[in-house]
A and B are shown apart, each in its own frame.
Chain A
């Protein structure tokens, strides 16, 4: 049988999927053991023991100086920024994208600007944001907004234009005015697509968040890993990176499930 026609069963697919993870863990633990055998104080490849100790210290014990649980504090600070940034960007994308997609006059007016803005590297704007909005929360949230909104705007406009032309004609023959076309035909069909777009934008959003936190912050997941880098504290950095990854996966899956639940027609091939 040709290779392209051989499909794994359910169990073997799961096992095959797990295999790379297990391999990485195995290789890491072997390398870590070897280094620790040579030098018990080695910081580069901490073992499970050191990492659990670090997690315990960061997440479950009060910080000696501030009395806070640092990991939770970092997590809430980062998630707040991320949530606000992505939330604002999504609302902007919905408004601008839908108007751009539906109204030719607005499209002629705004589409070139949106395309140009989406080409500006957001990190190059970070210094400007720091100068204009200061080093506080606002500039970090703004970086996420500026980094993700223009691309989502273009995506939403594109999705609107991909709605079949027949639908647009049909709703006009049912007497819809432009506003009704937006609220009854476009918005309900575009929101699940916006959620998909947000899922894709979360990757860049994390990037901008961590970059902004690394440069100017007093708390946050990105701030912490860049802070402890000075002490080569891989035992903190690695769990933090894994934690960030877990958060990213959970948010993504929540959005996916929400999309499924809220828009049953969308995921059942109804578009």
Chain B
């Protein structure tokens, strides 16, 4: 049995079909990148993995059990923005998850428990390269550093699944390369199962182990909402040839144009 099983999944909002007949098996420790035109349900699928959205029809299982219907500490998330807490310093941001777990009532740790937890926090900050900024406020950090912090905040909880929703979309290209290295390193060290949504086809082709292309197989120009998207390509990364890359790019941009037109 695979770690995550999705069978004939449909997601609809009224008449608007977002995802149709989507099936997928993912093993523990895989790093899947999700690409596709905007409006093709990548983020919706991510939200369903997170427990923020529920499916309309079909089946979605985590180790054979139905997905929990609300977010929990086993599934971490990094958004493009607003993932860190502005009222907490860098160190407090990373400490927060550990405090919430160990202190249900106050949500705060004191004394030796806090010192113990801070060891993990500082190790985590070291790993993402934020040790020098530990006492800064998030607004004092650059965009890239804020994303490093959001990643640290999630990883310190050792989640079983980590969801990344266009985490590097707002960053400069150079910084993005550094972030790729960071996320790959953390993924190798922890063995977390990662799903990453990206707009950037290039990013999708080089990061992770598996590329999932979300696209519409049918298009009604008069009624773009009538048909949903599904996974049109499911490729192991590293074995893709130039031709496949080009045909995916053509297909995705055709869908993008028809959706925006």
Q: Which residues of A come within 8 Å of B, CB atoms?
A: 164, 166-167, 169-177, 179-180, 183-185, 188-189, 263-266, 268-271
Contact = CB atoms under 8 A, between A and B. Distances in A.
B104 to A, nearest CB: 7
B87 interface: yes
A270 B92 CA distance: 15
B238 interface: no
A172 B83 contact: no
Nearest to A164: B82
B100 A169 contact: no
The 9 closest A-B pairs by CB, nearest first: A175-B73, A174-B97, A270-B139, A164-B82, A172-B71, A166-B82, A270-B86, A180-B107, A184-B107
Interface residues of B, number: 36
B1 interface: no
A193 B137 CA distance: 18
Contacts of A185: 85
B85 A268 contact: no
A156 to B, nearest CB: 16
B41 interface: no
Given A172-B72, A173-B77, A183-B107, A269 B139 contact: yes
Contacts of B159: 173
Interface string B85-111: 111000000001101110011111000
B50 interface: yes
B interface: dominant SS = loop
B100 A170 contact: no
Contacts of B82: 164, 166-167
Contacts of B137: 264-265, 268, 270
Interface in B48-103: 50, 52, 70-73, 75-77, 79, 81-87, 96-97, 99-101
B138 interface: yes
B154 interface: yes
Contacts, number: 94
B182 interface: no
A162 to B, nearest CB: 12
A178 to B, nearest CB: 11
Given A170-B150, A173-B75, A173-B159, 12 more contacts: A166-B82, A167-B82, A171-B100, A172-B71, A175-B72, A175-B157, A184-B99, A184-B100, A266-B86, A268-B139, A270-B137, A270-B138
B85 A167 contact: yes
A270 B86 CA distance: 5
Contacts of B154: 173-174
B109 to A, nearest CB: 12
Contacts of A172: 70-72
Given A179-B105, A184-B100, A270 B157 contact: no
A91 to B, nearest CB: 20
Contacts of B147: none
B153 interface: yes
Contacts of B84: 170
A268 B104 CA distance: 31
B157 A265 contact: no
Contact of A170 (B72, B79, B108): B79
Contacts of B70: 172
Given A183-B107, A184-B100, A169 B77 contact: yes
B87 to A, nearest CB: 5
Contacts of A164: 81-82
A187 B245 CA distance: 49
A188 B104 contact: no
